Amino acid sequence: MDGRLLAGMSVLSAVVETGSFTKGAEVLGLSPSGVSRSVSRLEERIGVRLLDRTTRALRLTGEGARLYELAAPHITGIEEAANLVAGAAVVVKGPLKANINQLFARYLLAPHLTEFINRYPDIELTISQLPDVGGLVGEGIDVAIRFGPQPPSSMTSRLLLETRVLTVASPAYLHRHGRPKQPADLADHACIQYIDPQRGKPFPWEFHRGNKVLRVDTKGALILTDVDTMIGSCVAGAGIAQVLALGVRGLLEQGALVELFPDWPGETFPLYVVRPSRRLSSAAVEVFMEFCLEIAQRA
């Protein structure tokens, strides 16, 4: 392997992560035509077509997807090793754009933001709340907090925590419709469906106990993409919902919601902090990731 092959793979990764030659060129500080030529030279060198190009979009071919899947972790390793040895950045200052899952932002991060600002007063932190899906580089995001297993990519991710999945209902709903005694009874109840942003379909309802996993087919008139709306409608008695413990602890303590199956406690959902590995990681990104890990461990 020589430097040209490694450079070509780095350019291909930038194009894949940003979704276009133009955005990839912006990240790399090159011209779009230069990025296009670099990918073409890589295709000639390897002897296969890696990208299908149309006027509207770019898409990896089967061979391109396989190459990217195998090579991206190695490119990440080289970049992280170089960053570590070089001491990528020592001054903790400047702008930092973070895309934060709304549950983490509300229940864990918000109470500690004053602490972060006092600790790092020269960081200009901008927080947005976009869906937990898609690339970061094209949106100009430096770091993200996302729920769910992370798909294979060249992004670096670290597990922050795992929170339990609970099945809950309001006392008003249970008074009107009765309390299901076992998960299978949910087939006869109104169950609020929540869309998985990575698949675009409702999450399946599962129940875990030890090594046993039980899946139950549920139905309901409400199909939602917003966590707050789901929790609010559940509290109002619209139906039964599966929620993350992180977002409903107070409501359970107040009695506004009731956990239905505490004898099925095993299902959890992971929360990750993610950053684009291709970028030279700034000190601001590193300290923010460490801060999020710190407050997650306190939870």
Span 144-160, pLDDT tens digits? 998 887 765 556 778 99
**140 φψ region: left (φ > 0), alpha (ψ -120 to 50), beta (else):** left
For residue range 226-251, list pLDDT tens digits in order.
999 999 999 999 999 999 999 999 99
Q: What pLDDT score was predicted for residue 283?
A: 82
- The structural domains of the chain, ordered by start, are 3-86 (1.10.10.10), 94-159+270-298 (3.40.190.10), 162-268 (3.40.190.290)
47-74 confidence digits (pLDDT tens) = 888 888 776 678 888 888 888 888 877 7
Compute CA distances 85 → 35, 75, 80, 82, whole Å.
28, 16, 9, 5
- Tell me how many degrees the CA angle 211-212-217 measures, rounded to the nearest 5: 145
What is the C-alpha to C-alpha distance for residues 170 and 190, in angstroms, rounded to an integer? 12
pLDDT tens digits for 271-282?
998 887 654 567
